[in-house]
Amino acid sequence: MKIIKTAIPDVLVFEPLVHQDDRGFFMETWRESQFDELSPDLRFVQDNQSQSSRGTLRGLHYQRKHPQGKLARVVSGNVFDVAIDLRQSSTTFTKWVGVELSAENKKQLWIPPGFAHGFYVLSETAELIYKCTDYYVSEDNHCILWNDPLIGIAWPLVDKTPLLSKNDRCGKKIQESDLFE
Contact 132, 69 (CB under 8 A): yes
Which long-range contacts (C-beta less than 8 Å, at least 24 apart) are formed by 42-46? Answer: 42/69, 42/113, 42/133, 43/133, 44/71, 44/131, 44/132, 44/133, 45/132, 45/133, 45/134, 45/135, 46/131, 46/132, 46/134, 46/135, 46/136
Catalytic member of 62, 120, 130, 142? 130
Whether 136 is catalytic = no
Catalytic member of 61, 117, 120, 142? 61
Contact 151, 173 (CB under 8 A): no
Whether 130 is catalytic = yes
* Interior/surface letters 38-75, b for 16+ CB within 10 angstroms, e for the rest: eeeeeebeeeeeeebebbbbbbbbbbeebbbbbbbbbe
- Annotated catalytic residues are 61, 130
